[in-house]
Structure 1
Amino acid sequence: MLSNVEINNLLEAISTRDCEKSYKALFVSLHESLYSFAFTFLKSSEDSEEVVSDLFINLWMKRKNLKRLDNPKLYLLIGTKNFALNRLKLNKRKASLQLDDFSMHLESVFFNPEELAISAELTQKIMDAVNALPPKCKIIFKLIKEESLKYHEVSELLDLSVKTVESQMAIALRRIRQCLEFKHEFPEIHSILAKK
């Protein structure tokens, strides 16, 4: 995913110059991540695709009103969540959010080249442990470790208290460590996952 600075630069080009190239670059760079997030609520590929498309159409329609944002990544995730909830209402599905009802598949727990050097077998063990987490833990773990959101940002995004986010993250990390006995077998992995 693009950094907040890169997203703001693209948004500025879209806003001030109606730059279709920047709009396309923003869409291509963020589509997969926003689609994956929408899918956690909708559990429908078609609806998730439409939500992301609607978000970007709305962004283009309101481009003249775009301002530089402190955290554009969070802004777009909140927009995706809101469009997804509207889609749920439109589809006459249950509109109240229960994070335990949603499922999410984590793509990777490794985010830089050094971490990618770990063996495929170990990577699979870690991914199995992460994907075995309860849904709420998994969503919070993904947003913090894969999307690089801060605890207070996840709290705002999911309408949870910061303490709830902290405790769910602690549960996730504890379960992953227990599953793989990180402290003894893989101290270097333990330190990667323990980072906030």
Structure 2
Amino acid sequence: MPINENIPDYELVRKLHGDDVDAFDQIFNRYGDRLYGFAYKYLKSKEETEGLVQDVFLKIWENRKKLKKESSLKSYLFTIAYHNICHLFRKKQIFLKYIEESKVVETKTIDLEKQLEYEATLSQVDKLIDKLPGKQKEVFIKSRKEGKSTSQIANEMNLSPGTVDNYISTALKLLRKQISGEDFALLLFFAFFFQ
């Protein structure tokens, strides 16, 4: 959809309150590239930046009913992006610390027990993903396993970016519900690789 600069942000937010996917697409078209440029300056990674932009728009869609028409949409989007960048940096530091403490860096090998544990966790995650309904499962795999962006998936599957983000958001909620709080390894894996 072409970007219509004549529609003010507050009008797009009003339409978004009514679950208008076209309004969501219009917001994505208007701010997607700007957010990408902003995030890429910090992350220096195409894949991480695409994931971050996708997550920002997922949050917009999930919270569409709570958005305030009088607030600055642009400011809200960039604030979410900034917080997500900070969160990513914290997550990387935790992960690097875990690797360091596990002496994976020094030994450059993973012992059999750790490898088996990792494979078991991966298998559990795959089983949970297999339980997702048809298109939702396909979209989720393309996004989180193949690393494709919202726009790539939308083009491949002939869906709107809003629908793609909606599928991913619903899938994440379902997966979170199924992961037991006691299964720390699975919870940690999910937090690192699927958020």
> What TM bracket, shorter-length normalisation?
0.3 to 0.5
TM-score between the two structures when normalised by the length of structure 2 = 0.43
TM-score between the two structures when normalised by the length of structure 1 = 0.43
User: More relative contact order in 1 or in 2 (CA 8 Å, sep 6+)?
Assistant: 2
